[in-house]
Homo-oligomer: A and B are copies of this chain.
Amino acid sequence: MLSETLVQGQSLTDKALERLLPPATQHPTSIHRAMRHSVFAGGKRLRPILCLEAGRMISGTLPESIEDLGAALEMLHTYSLIHDDLPALDNDDLRRGRPTCHKVFGEATAILAGDALQTQAYQVLAGLRCPAEVRVRIIEEIARGTGTIDGMIGGQVVDLEAEHSPPAVETLEYIHRSKTAALITASVVSGGLYAGANDDAIAKLRTFGHSIGLAFQIVDDVLDVTQTSAQLGKTAGKDSAAEKATYPALFGVDESLKRADKLAGTACAALDEFGYRAETLKSVARFLVERKN
C-alpha cells in the first residue's frame, strides 16, 4: 500500500533525524533550535522515501539503518530551503506552513543553521553503516548532486539570475535538472548504492531519479499557479510574482502536466526489469506527479 510506504518512510526518517540532530538543549541552543525548527516543520520526506524505497527494491527488504542516509538527505534539502528563503534570495516568510527560519531566529542564525545542516549531513554520511568504499561513493554522488555544476546550487544560481527576464526553454531545463532533479537523483542512486546495487542497476535508478525529479519540479511549478498558500503550506503564486522561469509560464498548465506525466512514464519504464519489486517505487513516482501540495 502506497500510504503505508509513505507513513513508514516519514516515521523512520523523523526518528533518525531526532537521533542524529543535536538536541535543542545542547549548547549553543539557538543554532540547534533553528536547525530543528526547519527540519521538523512537517516536511513530506520525499527524498528519504525515494532513497529507502530504492534500497528496498535492490535488497528485497529495507536495508538496515538506511534511514540514516535518508535523514542526511533531508538535512541537505532543509539547508537549501533555509538559504533559499533568506531575504537576499527568495525572501520568503512562510515554508511548510510555518514562519521561515530567519523570521524566527534572525538572518545570522538562519545562515549558520543552513551551514550546520550541510555539515551535519556529511558527518552522518561518513558514519553510515555500510562499507567505507560505499560511503565515499555515496558522499561523492551527493556532493555532486548538490554542487554548482548541474547540481542543486548551480540550479539555484541560474534560477535567481533568470528572474525578471524572458525565460528560455534551455534555461528552464537547466534549472529543473540542477535545482531539483539532481538531489532527487542522488537520493535514489545513494539508496541503491547503500543496498549494494551493481553498475547496471545504478544506471537504471539514475534514469528513474532524473525523470521523476524533472516531473516533480514541473508539478511544483504548476501547484504554485493552481493552489493557494494554505493548500501548499508556502507562499503560492510567488513564481509569477518574481517573474521566475517556470513550465506553466512557458507552456501552460495542461501541457506542463502532460509533460510531467510523460516523464513519470519514462521513470517507471526504467525500472521494468526489476519486475514486481519495483512496484512500490513506481507508485511513489506516480504519487509525486499526482500530489496536490
Copies in the complex: 2
The reply to whether A111 and B112 form a contact with Cβ atoms under 8 Å apart is no
The interface residues of chain B lying within 8 Å CB-to-CB of A88 are 106-108, 111
In chain B, what residue has the closest Cβ to A156? B112
Q: Does A160 contact B (CB under 8 A)?
A: yes
Q: Apart from A26-B149, A83-B111, A126-B137, list 18 A-B contacts with CB within 8 A.
A: A22-B149, A27-B149, A31-B148, A31-B154, A83-B115, A89-B111, A109-B157, A119-B146, A119-B153, A122-B139, A123-B139, A127-B140, A131-B132, A132-B132, A132-B133, A132-B135, A132-B136, A139-B139
Q: Is A120 an interface residue (CB 8 A)?
A: yes
| Residues of chain A at the chain B interface (Cβ within 8 Å) | 22, 26-28, 30-32, 35, 79, 83, 86, 88-89, 106-109, 111-112, 114-116, 118-120, 122-123, 125-127, 131-133, 135-137, 139-140, 143-144, 146-149, 151, 153-154, 156-158, 160-161
- With A111-B89, A118-B118, A136-B132 as known contacts, state yes or no: A123 contacts B147, CB within 8 Å: yes
A198 nearest CB across to chain B (Å): 18
- Residues of chain B lying within 8 A (CB to CB) of residue A135: 132, 136
A108: B residues at CB distance < 8 A: 86, 88-89, 160
Structural contact, B116 and A143, CB atoms closer than 8 A: no
